[in-house]
Every structure is written in structure tokens, then in C-alpha cells.
Structure 1
Amino acid sequence: MAGVPPPPIALLVGVALVALVVAKAFVNRRRDRPGATELGVLLAVVGTWCGLYAAQLAATTTATMVFLYQLIYLCIVAVPPLWFLFASSYTGRQSLPLLGWLAAGIISVGCFLGALLWPETTLVWTDVEVVSIGQLRALSLDKGPVFYVFIGYAYTLLLWGAARIGRYAITTRGRARNQTRVIAFALFIVLVPNAAFNTGLAPFEFDPTPFVFILSVLLFVAADFRYGLFRAHPLARDVAREHVIEEMVDGVLVVDRANVITDVNPAAATALGVSPRSVIGEKLDAVLPDLATRIESADSESETYYHASSDVTYDVRVSPFSRPKNGLQGRIVTLHDVSETRQREERLSVLNRILRHDIRNGLNVVGGFADLVADTDADAEMRQHAAARIKHRTDELLDLAEKIRAIEKGLDRQNERQSTELMGVLDIVVERIERQWPEATVTLSGPDEVTVLTTPIAEALFHNLVENAAEHGGESPTIDVVVTTADDWVTVEVTDDGPGIPKKELEAIESGETQLAHASGIGLWLATWLVRQSSGTIEFDATDEGTVVTVRLRRARPDDETVPA
């Protein structure tokens, strides 16, 4: 029938219109979704390609056909980078660097100009021939060297983008996986016949690509209607999960079934003292043997602890995972910092042990001497001695209660740090010790003023150190408290001329509170704990000539809040 275009031309026009309508819908309605704008532009270019190809098939002169095919090349060179941009945006991966896009632009523009300037240049086309296919006339082209350079670059971008889509299809589930499978298939049903035509493997005398676009466009439409291509984008879920894992306080480490580390979040890297780059791809037992041992003994029900340092403890939990369909199998290891909880439990246990031991013994002593005082048959001297022992023991118990109160206060505020004027605190400590032990000689030397970063109960720290020196320093102890500064640190030395700290007591204090069995060392233990809570260090040097306790604290910065003594 006259005036009715042949079915192939009508089909191409229909595909062009559908592609342009879908492109407009993606750009207008889904522009805020990753990849929607890029896919919309890509479909618009595909629709234009189909429309120009339909016009070329309908053309009646060779010159018009060549001109339209030259315009088609503008679409041809635009498709590979647009596809790669879409694949990168949709999967949330990085695009090409600037130099990569510059090289891509040079190749694309060179190919288009080579086609546009034919026959003056034969770098893209060496010869053009009109062939008849039934009622249609099409162009058959002999390709030049620039065309094959372009084809190599174009297939590289197309396959690179397809690899990103394919990897995304493997790692996602449910509707997201179906979306990515449809997208990948939409590419390959175009790529295979196109590659067969350009490499001469298919017996086509004309380019079949525009006709295959029919299926590709329909697949994108079906993906949108069936799976909501951009309505509930899976990337949002993946980005959210990645953000949560990257920002979470707990450490997360992933190992595969071969015990190779495949992922480490920043919290785990910090906890383990490693950089992600140095351990990813390495065997767990080779780079972190202690943790590997802990993991082998851990399960979801038992408590397994990993000690990163003397002060830091992590609860290790292991969760196996597997996906039999794609062969994924491994374990997710979480590291939860339980240092504060464990330290608090240990310290409460120590206090409980000391209180049960010393208070019971103290009250037994008080009770025994109270019976002696109440004994009317006892002489006055014995009763007076018993009363003095009761008074002495009561004072000891009150002093113990004061230390316990300081520890309880420290437990409640163990995470607090503040800037404290040190010399004022030491003045108060020296004054109190001189009142308690009039026979002791205590000297204080140092700068007029210096501020340090400490816990809120810094006075208890130094009072226990000086008190210990006075208590164990003999009949007339001499105690020197010397403060010096160097760079960002302040050093306090407490020196006495007593017999020195007993070796067993010092070992118990330095090895940890779990070894502390009685209250005689609780003052030094409290001081040691408070120094560590202040991010400082403490050292004990006990000799026959006395004891030197050296405390190093960080100097406070100007912007730290200063608390006067």
C-alpha cells in the first residue's frame, strides 16, 4: 500500500518513540535515584540512533544515506561512555579519572570526525556501498584503522560496566538481583550481534544493532514495571549498610572459608592495631595469630575475650555465613569493647574481697578488745590498752571506708578527665599529711603553678601516695614531693627514706588488681588506677634506702577546662 513504510522502518520508529518516552520518564520522575538520569540519556541516544537509522533506510539517495549514517555515529560514540556512567552510578562505584575521560573523549571525537569527513579521510571508513535487502536499501561499510581503535575502547567500557553490574547481581538479593540481571541481559542481547557484525563473524551486510535495541528497550521497561527499577533502589540499602559498618563502634572483620581476611572496618583496624590494606587478602593466623586462636574457640553462645593490651579487652563473637548458590562462605567476627565493664567487675570483685577480709578481721579485733573493756575483772591498764586498740582499729576501718568511697566515686566518673591545678592539690595533700603524721617531714618543690589532665579525684591519687610514704616510713619519715615539667608532660616524684614497699605488695599492684588480696596495698592500688585513668604512667622504685614513686601526667591544653584545687 502506497505511503505505508515497510515493517522494519515502522518498527524502528516505534522503538525510537518508546525509548524517548521511557527516557523522559526516567529523567523527570526518577532523577533523584542513582543511575536514572544516566539511563534516561542513554535511552534517548538509543532512540535517536533508531530514528536516524529508520530515516537512513527510508532515504532514496546515497548522499542522504551517508549523511544520516554520519549523524548516527554521534550516537554510536556516545553509547559506551553513557553505559559506563550508568553502570558506575547504579552500582555506586567510582567513574573514570579525568585522564581516562580525556582519552575516551579523544577516541570518540576522532572516530566521529573521521566518519563526518569521509570521503576526504578514510581512517574510519575506507569504502561505502549501498546494498539491497528486500524492499530496503542499506549501507555496507569497509572499516578503517580508527574504527577498530574505537571498537576496542568501546567494548572495554561496555564490558567494564557489565562487570560492575554482574558483580552487583552476585552480591545482592531478591528484587535487586532481578533488576541487575535484567540490566545485564539488556546489554548482552545488543552486544553479541553488534560484536558479531563488527568482527565479520556474522553474515550480515548491514548493522543489526538498532533492531536488537527493540528487545533491550522492552527489557528496561519490563524491569521498571516488574521490579521497580528505580523506585526502591538497592544501592540505598547497600550504602546504608556500608555506612553503618564503617561508622559503628564495634569492630567487624570478615574472613572467608580459607581463613583469608576479606574486609575490616575502621573500628576493627584500630582495635587490632593494623591498617586494612596490610591485612586484607592475608591469612588471619599469619597476621593476627592470637585473634585467630580466640576465633577458633569462640561461638555465638560462649564468652571469648581478646586482650589488645593490658587495659583493653574485646568480647569476640563469630557468626558464620554461607550462600551455597554462589559459593560464598565465611565468618563475620565482631569485636565489642568490654574494657570498662570488665575493669569495673574486677574492681568491684577486689573491693568485695578486701571488704570481706579486712572488715571482718577488723570487727573481730574490735569485738575482742570490747569484751576486754567490758570485763570488770581486767585491770585498768589492760582495759586502757584495749580501748586504745579499739580506737586505732576503728581509725583504720574509717580510713579504709574513705578509700572505698574514693574508689566508688572513681568508678562512677572513670571516663571523666579535667584540667587540674596540680600545685594547689599537692599543697592540700601535704597539709593533711602533716596533720595526720606530725612526726613526718614533708617538703614540696616545683613551679608556682602547673595544670595537668587528671580524673576528678586527683587529690585522692596523691594523698594515697604520700600517705603510704608516711605510714611505712618509720618513726620520723622524711618525704620529698618534687614536681618537674618537660614538653607535654609533668612529673611528680614522691621519695621517702623508709624500708620500701614490700616486694609481694608491689608485685600485686603492678600485676593487676586480681592479685590484690588485702587492704594493705589498696592505697597504692587506688593511686595506680587513678593514674591510668588519667592517661598517665606510674613507676615504683623500691630499695633498702627508701621508695621513689614517679607519676607522669599529661600537661593540660589551654582549651581544657581548669578546675582549681
Structure 2
Amino acid sequence: MLLTAGGYVLPSGTLTAVMLVTVVVGTTAALLAWRERQEPGAVPLTAMLAGQVWWSVFFVFEFRAGTFAGKVFYSDIQWLGVVVIPVAWLLFALEYTGRDHYVRPRYVALLSVVPVVTVVLAATNASHDLLYLDTELVTEAGRQVLDRTGGPWYWVITGYTYLLGLLGSIPLLGLVRSDALPFRGQSLGLLVGTLAPWASNVLFLAGAVPVPSLDPTPVFFAVSGVAYLGAITRFRLLGTSPSANHRARRLVFERMREGAVVVDRHDYVVDLNEQAAEILDVDPREVLGSPAAEVIPRYEQLPEEGRASRHLTLGEGLQSRQYDATVTAVADFHDRSLGGVVSFHDVSDHLRRQQRLEVLNRVLRHNIRTETNLIYGNADLMDAEGAHVDAVKEGAMRIEAISDKARDVIDIFERGRQPGQSLMLTTVVEECIEEISDEYPTVTVDLEFGSGGDFADGPDAVDAADTADGASTDDPDDAAVSPVVTSVLKNVVENAAEHNTAADPWVRVRATCTEGVVEIRVADNGPGISDHERTALDRGNETPLDHGSGLGLWLIAWGTELADGDLTIDDRDGGGTVVTVRVPRIAAGSL
């Protein structure tokens, strides 16, 4: 018999029966967990339940053993199950909540160092006093039980066990507040199953149990088994798992289309996703922990609290991108500031579409209206004097030209939405030159492949040393470009020829191929491009008082942009203009 609280005598057979139930329940739960071993956390949960069953079985053997040596043996062998439980519990909690990146062989090996040492010390306890200082048989309620006094390592493994138990419980506590009923039920069942034997062990260590020499922890494994069975069967512990939540949220943060930078309340960068690193052109490993003002341009102009946005332009020229930089405050449950998230929403395409609409609107409302008024005015004069027929015809032709340009704009937009197509560079350039030469026979159009040139000395000058960025040139015959380049090049050469008022007008076209870039340079000896045309193009939009004369330059700029290229316009020494278009080179036959 065994004395319990209040002096009640519990028969030893009853204790054995209770432990048998504990073993059966624990084994059943372990088998159910093992059956779902493909689910996150199932294998560690099986190991933890097996450890509890192991401890319970040899606890009964120790209790019923009739000799001192037998009791000591069964007491020592229980450590195999004891040390498995906290390690398996922590691994289960990590996998179950989606933090499985910590469940790696090297981490498991580190977690197992203290348990392995404990098992070794238990097996060799007779030769040292590290695990137990003293072991003796005492008689309580007419039955002999072991009374063991813990040594230094006993308290090490005890503290280690409670530490792992606490660490494993922390992520589960977060699920208690989950909106999903199954997750709340699962986490509560797991916490109850863990706290029951944990509390009984604390009472045992404090000497607050009916039999001070007998650890009742295995008895409370019956409560654990029932709680785990309820979590598995009632709340589908291994059928509905929150393991994806943690990883999914991190994945959304890392792969979201918007760039996001997390800053703390002291304005230091503590996290950023891949998109933000690309937008800001930084290495995450180098900027984490740096002041946000050193990482985010004009950071000091962003609002400090709440949610607001500021327009931000990053990059230069046609390669620049526009972003709405939005700051979202992050606070704790007490509404105390923890920092914020700076997100970058790319509005470049939206602004460029708006820009295009503004230009087209200006052309339709201003240029066409002006030309129409001229036609009506000259028509009235023609009725009166009969001398303005040519002016009427010219106005009509200008309207037709504007219409043609508008169609070209629509054409390049359509081509830009058709990826996977290409045209041979030589075909594009030669057909363009032939068409412009036929249209403007008084203009000398010179074409050259494979060399640079500064265009300084007229149509026949060649300077082979001046290549694109000093790079060696390749044969253009096997190079291909985006179909959009056709409209771009045609308009560049046409503008150079149409507006050339020199006595001996000429246009030179040179196409240079390097490893990854095609550079087309078009020079002329005409009057050049006016400042207000360039101003509108550089600014990226037009105003009622400052706008271009038509669609030609805009078509060139938009087409180069759609081809992922770069456009530069320079004055030529001696008069005229040099327009350089650089676009990605596509190997012939690659598409």
C-alpha cells in the first residue's frame, strides 16, 4: 500500500492500474501521431509520447521491484525517456508553428548534448556523485521506495528541462488567441498536456507531494495522454496545422511585389525584403542595423507616425522609377510605438500612362484644333480671294501626319505587350534607311555597321576607335532586337531628315553591337532640337505653356523605354544633333 494525502492508503495495485492506463493512452496517442508522420510536428510528438511511455513503464518496474539494485536500475533507465521529452517537445512546437528552419541536424545535435551527458552519468552513477549524491531505501506507508538526493548535474538537467519546456510553450501561447477554433483547441490541449506533469514535478521538487520520495510525474502522464488524444482526434492536431502561417507570412513579406523596410522606433533598419533591396540597390547583410536615413533616400521627409505616403523617384533618366513611399506605424498592445514599415509601391507605369494620355490629349486638343482652325480660316480666304489652296492642303497634310504618329504610338504600345518576338538588327536598320531615303531624296543618308564614330566631320568621316563605352564590337548579322526598335529608329531618322535645313543635308546612322547591347547612333547636321522640346521630354510631362510640337520625340522615348533601353540626345560639334539609342541585344534564333 501507498500513503497519500490525508492519510488515505492507496493500494499499490491501484497505482499500477493507473499507470497501465497511462501507458495505454500514451501508446495510443503515439501510434496515432506516428500514423501521421508526414505532417509537421508528428515525428517529434511521437518521440515525446514514447518518452512518456518509457518513463511510465520503468516507473512501475521501479515501484514494484523487490531489491535495492533493481530499483536503482529501473530508476536509472528511466532517464532515457526523461531526457527525450523536453527536446522532442521543443522540436514539436517549432515544427508545429512553422519554425522548422530551426529543426536541423546541427541544432538537434546541440540540443541533445545535455541529455546524452545525463544518460551517460546515469549509467555510471556508481563511480561519481554528479547525478546523485546519495541513494537509499526508505519505508513509507509500509512500502520501500528509493530516496535519491540530487547532485550538481541533476539540477543542470532539471533546469535544462524546464528551459526547453518554456521555450516550446511560448510559440503555442500565441495560438491560444487565434481566430481559428481548431488552433485554439489544439494549443490548449497541448499546453494542458504539458503543464500537468510539469506542475506535479515542481511540487515533487518542492517536497509538496504526499510521498516525498516518490516522483508522481509519470502518474500525471495520464492527463497528458488524454489531452493529446483530444487534440489529435477532436481538434485534428495533425490534420489541420498552423505550420504554414508563420512561413507564409514571411514568404509574403519576402516575395511581395512591393518593397518593404522595417525600422525600429529609433529609426534603424531591422528587416527588408528582396524587392526593397533591389529597389534601393543595397545588400541586406550590409544595411541591417544601419540608420534608415543612410538606406532610404529622403527618409527624414517621410512622416514619423501613422500611415501616409510620399512620392519618391529613384534612379536617373529613362531608367528611373517612381514610388509611393508609404509609412505604416507598428505598435504593441499598449499602443506604444515599436517602429514602422516603409513600403515602396511602384507607380512608374501608372505615371507613364498618365504622361502618355496627357501628351495625346494635348495633341488632340491643341495641335489638331490649331490646324483645323487654320484650314477653316484659309478656306474662308480661299472663297474670297482664291489664293490659299496650298495652305489648306498643307494643314490637311499636317493633320494626316499627326494621325500617322498617333497610329505609330499605338503600334509600339501593342508591340511592347507582345514579349517573345524579335527582328534582325540588319533588317530593321536597312529597311528604315531605304524608306527614309526614298521619302527624302535630297538628304544624304549614310549607314555603317560595327564601328563607332564621333560624327564630327560630315557624312563620310569614320572613327573606328569610338565604340560603345570602349567595348569591342561584334558582327551585327547575328543580333536581333525588339520589334519596337523599328518605330523608334524610323522616327529618329525621319526627324533628322525632315527638319534638316542645311545647304547639304545629311544623316548618318551607325549600329554597333557589343556582347549584350545594341547601340544605334543617328547624327545630322540640321538645326538641332529646341530647348522646350527637350525640357518637356526631360521632365516627363507637358504643361499648357511648355510642350512639344508633336508626337515624334515622345514616340522615340516611349519606344526606347518599352524596349528596356536608354535614350540620350546630345548636340553635335559643328551643329546638329546626335541621338543614341541603346537597347538589349537578343541573339538571333533565341526566340
TM-score range, shorter chain: 0.7 to 0.9
Partner of 2:67 in structure 1? 61
Check whether the contact 1:27–1:37 (CA below 8 A) recurs between aligned residues: yes
Name whichever of 326-335 and 435-444 sits farther off.
Answer: 326-335
Take 1:333 and 1:6, find their aligned partners in 2: how far apart are those partners?
A: 67
Partner of 1:526 in structure 2? 555
Partner of 2:224 in structure 1? 216
Match of 1:396 among 375, 395, 398: 398
Name whichever of 204-213 and 148-157 sits farther off.
Answer: 148-157
2:206 paired with 1:206? no
Match of 1:541 among 552, 570, 578: 570
**Alignment CA distance shift 1:332-1:458 (3 Å):** same
Matching residue's letter, 1:179: Q
5 Å matches for 1:445-460?
445-447=448-450, 449-450=476-477, 454-460=481-487
Q: Deviations over 1:216-270 (max 9, x none)?
A: 3343344446644334222234444444444443445566777776654433443
Q: Deviations over 1:257-295 (max 9, x none)?
A: 777766544334434444555666677567436467456
Can you give the 5+ residue segments of structure 1 that lack an aligned partner in the other structure? none
Name whichever of 206-215 and 130-139 sits farther off.
Answer: 206-215
Partner of 1:493 in structure 2? 521
5 Å matches for 1:64-463?
64-93=70-99, 94-95=101-102, 97-120=104-127, 122-166=129-173, 168-169=174-175, 172-175=178-181, 176-177=183-184, 179-194=186-201, 197=204, 204-224=212-232, 227-252=235-260, 264-275=272-283, 287-288=295-296, 290=298, 293=301, 305-309=311-315, 311-315=320-324, 324=333, 335-375=344-384, 377-378=385-386, 383=387, 386-417=388-419, 418-447=421-450, 449-450=476-477, 454-463=481-490
Deviation, 1:477, is 0.9
Deviation, 1:429, is 1.8
2:39 paired with 1:33? yes
Check whether the contact 2:259–2:343 (CA below 8 A) recurs between aligned residues: yes
Check whether the contact 2:44–2:92 (CA below 8 A) recurs between aligned residues: yes
Q: Secondary structure at the match of 2:137?
A: strand
**Alignment CA distance shift 1:252-1:277 (3 Å):** same
TM-score norm. by structure 2 comes to 0.80
**Alignment CA distance shift 1:257-1:278 (3 Å):** same
Take 1:273 and 1:155, find their aligned partners in 2: how far apart are those partners?
A: 45
* Cα RMSD (Å): 3.7
Match of 1:508 among 514, 533, 536: 536
Name whichever of 506-515 and 401-410 sits farther off.
Answer: 506-515
**Alignment CA distance shift 1:147-1:76 (3 Å):** same
Take 1:215 and 1:17, find their aligned partners in 2: how far apart are those partners?
A: 12
Name whichever of 61-70 and 136-145 sits farther off.
Answer: 136-145
Matching residue's letter, 1:31: R
Take 2:269 and 2:176, find their aligned partners in 1: how far apart are those partners?
A: 20
Q: Deviations over 1:497-548 (max 9, x none)?
A: 1222222222222222335955535312211221222222222122552211
Partner of 1:51 in structure 2? 57
Deviation, 1:347, is 0.2
Partner of 1:469 in structure 2? 496
Take 1:244 and 1:322, find their aligned partners in 2: how far apart are those partners?
A: 21
Partner of 2:472 in structure 1? none
Partner of 1:554 in structure 2? 584
Matching residue's letter, 2:227: L
Partner of 2:466 in structure 1? none
Take 2:207 and 2:57, find their aligned partners in 1: how far apart are those partners?
A: 25
**Alignment CA distance shift 1:206-1:106 (3 Å):** same
**Alignment CA distance shift 1:325-1:484 (3 Å):** closer
TM-score norm. by structure 1 comes to 0.84
**Alignment CA distance shift 1:154-1:323 (3 Å):** closer
Check whether the contact 1:495–1:549 (CA below 8 A) recurs between aligned residues: yes
Check whether the contact 2:532–2:548 (CA below 8 A) recurs between aligned residues: no
**Alignment CA distance shift 1:325-1:209 (3 Å):** farther
Check whether the contact 2:25–2:222 (CA below 8 A) recurs between aligned residues: no
Take 1:533 and 1:487, find their aligned partners in 2: how far apart are those partners?
A: 21
Deviation, 1:72, is 1.1
Higher relative contact order (CA 8 A, sep 6+): 2
**Alignment CA distance shift 1:336-1:416 (3 Å):** farther
Take 2:237 and 2:332, find their aligned partners in 1: how far apart are those partners?
A: 25
Q: Deviations over 1:141-171 (max 9, x none)?
A: 23445545544544443333233434x4477
**Alignment CA distance shift 1:425-1:289 (3 Å):** closer
Take 1:519 and 1:367, find their aligned partners in 2: how far apart are those partners?
A: 24
Deviation, 1:91, is 1.6
Matching residue's letter, 1:363: T
Check whether the contact 2:437–2:444 (CA below 8 A) recurs between aligned residues: yes
Task: Report % sequence identity.
Answer: 30
Q: Secondary structure at the match of 1:31?
A: coil
Take 1:286 and 1:470, find their aligned partners in 2: how far apart are those partners?
A: 48
Take 2:335 and 2:547, find their aligned partners in 1: how far apart are those partners?
A: 60
**Alignment CA distance shift 1:440-1:143 (3 Å):** same
Take 1:299 and 1:120, find their aligned partners in 2: how far apart are those partners?
A: 68
Deviation, 1:49, is 1.1
Check whether the contact 1:252–1:333 (CA below 8 A) recurs between aligned residues: yes
Can you give the 5+ residue segments of structure 2 that lack an aligned partner in the other structure? 2-9, 451-474
